[in-house]
Amino acid sequence: MLKNVELVSGKMEFSNMKKNLNDKHYAVIKSYFWLQMLNDGKKPTKWLKPTTKGTGVHFNFIKNQEEYDAGINQLEAYIKDVNEQFNLDLNLKLNYE
Per-residue pLDDT of the chain (97 residues; tens, 9 = 90+): 777 877 789 999 999 999 999 999 999 999 999 999 999 999 999 999 999 999 999 999 999 999 999 999 999 999 999 999 999 999 998 887 6
How far is 54 from 1, CA to CA, in rounded Å? 41
**Nearest residue to 11 via CA among 75, 60, 52:** 60
**Nearest residue to 42 via CA among 71, 16, 17:** 71
Element spanning 6, H or E: none
pLDDT given at position 1: 79
56: DSSP letter: E
Which class for 43: exposed (0-12), middle (13-18), buried (19 or more C-beta within 10 A)? buried
pTM of the prediction?
A: 0.90
pLDDT given at position 4: 81
- 29-41 in b/e form (b: 16+ CB < 10 A) is bbbebbeebbeee
